Structure 1
Amino acid sequence: MRGNMEDVRYRDRKFLRPGFTTGTCAAMAGKAAVTALLTGCFPDHVSVVTPAGKTVTAVVENVLLGVREDGGKVFRCAVRKDAGDDPDVTDGLLIYCQAEFYCQADSACGEAEAGQILIRGGAGIGRVTKPGLDQPPGEAAINSVPRAMLRAEAAALLEEAGETRTVLLTVSAPGGEEIAKKTFNPVLGIVGGISILGTSGIVEPMSDEALTDTIFAQLKVLRAAGRRCFAAVPGRLGAVCLRERIGEIPEDEIVVCSNFIGKTVDMAAELGFTGMVLCGHLGKLVKLGCGIMNTHSREGDGRMDTLVSCCLEAGAELSFLKKIFHANTTEEAFSFIREEGLSEEVTEILLKRISHYLGHRAPEGFQTGVLLFSQEGGFLGSSAGTDALARRLLMEAEERRKENVHGRNET
């Protein structure tokens, strides 16, 4: 049975149902487990109010009563993740929380004062290995908002029952280690499982915010590692072309910005970066040449318009401009440009325009370099200053590699 998310969102001419986050799942499972700890009875359903103000109700599944070696009881409950109509790899995953009164012999949590609510990660929950994320290195990847939700639900129940003993909550997600391989966690330096996430507690279907949050998280990790310049690509093809042109860059140091090129510049500048090397396909980056900074088709097109104006500036005849305007794809249009002998000049004009609009978006002192390729023509060209930025990028990557090697040798 799914959660009770009845609201819908209208997007791309479809009604889409929202869901709830892994953080909300953990909070509901935690509330159910603490209820059982205090009453001895497992609830059938559990409800929480999310930070967004929405009440979410779910079925409590896979309940288990266990006994520790010291005779203390542990109560475990699960809530199934419901991502709504969002294509989330964690959809349907059971998020567990185990509740027990804290035993000082549990060295994993160290010393605890009376009345505390301790939270730790169990099987399938990732562990942070790099600075710059919501939790410090060494901690379970349970973000601050889900932790606050867990504590709030548990604290309310403990206060109502007049219970002052310390409670230990262990969040787990069996199968999370495999699922995490399909997420950005390996790139972010979160190993061994999924993250327990959420700020609003609600999953908005096909949410742009979820994607930009991931980009921001990766940028934070790079910045915390001392990076001032970074590489960005709209997709994996861009990463392949980038490595072919400037050299080997570790996968976790290439930011996949998808359609959010302008937003990526904004976030990078906010974090203190001073340079970006962008590598992408002609069909995506040509939109930047007319100032479209979100390259999703619903945000605007302008591909052929931009190529036509670049060809016009290069001196093309009217009949040729019409041919370009009516081309089916940018690949086809550029094959015509190549046949006309205008590819180098048009590429140079286009790169100047892309640089102009990126420079207009970025604050003063933030440099951008652009590498442009097509599937048929391969590498087309790069904007002025890209080579210098690429050298800086490789130098920073090498410095980081040496620091990592030095750190391993010391340990």
Structure 2
Amino acid sequence: MNPSQPRSGYTLPVFACAAAIAALKHLFKNNQSLNTVNLDLIEPKQTVEIPIEQVAKIKPNTALAITRSDPGDNLDLTRNTPIWAMVELIENAVKITDKTNIIPKQNEQITLIGGEGIGYDKNSGNPAIYRYAKQLFQENLERLLKPTDRIQITIILPEGRQLAKRTSNEAFGVVEGLSLLGTTGISQPLTAPGQLEAYCEELQQKATQYKSLVFCVGENGLDLAQKLGVPPEQTVKTANWLGPMLAAAGLAGIESILLFGYHGKLIKLAGGIFHTHHHLADGRLEILTAHCANLGLSSENLQTIFHAETAEAALNHLRTLDGSSETQNSHWVKQVYGSIASKIDQRSQAYIWDHSQRRVTVGSVLFDRKRKIVIKSAAGDTLLAKICYSSHNNQLL
């Protein structure tokens, strides 16, 4: 691989399966130490060598092996997390009554259990171990077993429960831990055909020149920011990858970030949704309604906001209230969106801290469909002024 290219790694199921292979071999080979094991990825069709950190027998018929996750050059919070596999050899699992020496089909040779740190599906109650992971265990472990052997594998992620709190797993119904998910063994640093990789690379390059950057969700944001005087070289496009980009900015040493985007996108951050693609999560109208309610908007108008067809329609309803003779000078747009923008700043700063342990100042500027600015948070107003001033005076910021 070219040194300038990002390094690929392996998905979590691969390391879990490698640990299980090591534990089983340790049982079969009389406590032989293993530094690595070979594993068939199945998808893609290749055999790879996975490092084993530790392996030991903990009972006469049970061994425990440990690997550590290496996802390559990905923004992956499971990096370096330990993965334990405890393999128990169940003796005399099948009584052979004839000379076929084949286990009846109703008996499983391999039982896979989700231990501590492996989440479960709150709808089905099943461990969050999915098709590819099961196939990986089945095909790799069966090759090491005699027809009469039966084993029980328990996968443990000691840090899984804690790490899960920093993921979107719960939105997909997986609770109390991480999942062994994926359709391939290779963890490519290319998310949505290289999009995230390209954005992060651009961010890292600009972080060597600037202490403050402007994150623009889309082309409209980039265009409006430039018209307001923000230098293009200080802007970074994020698309829907706001969470990973905020974390990457913290790790890159950025001191301040100005979020510049359409209110219907950025409003999601106020609700803790940091991947803003609508197929993953929405909640815009719910978040907007909650802020309206907190500020005392009437029940009738709350119903209108909550049932609006779009966030833009809800914004226009607030504007109508501000222009009405009955509610004139109510400043609902300023109050509600000021509250939302402040929450966006707070949650974004907390998100960066959680994922990088870096303190970064975040401000936000929200605009509407007509590219008219709806609100600037206090921090957003300050950052925008500083960036434009510094650009005009050729100063580094």
Normalised by the size of structure 1, how large is the TM-score? 0.47
What is the TM-score with the length of structure 2 in the denominator? 0.48
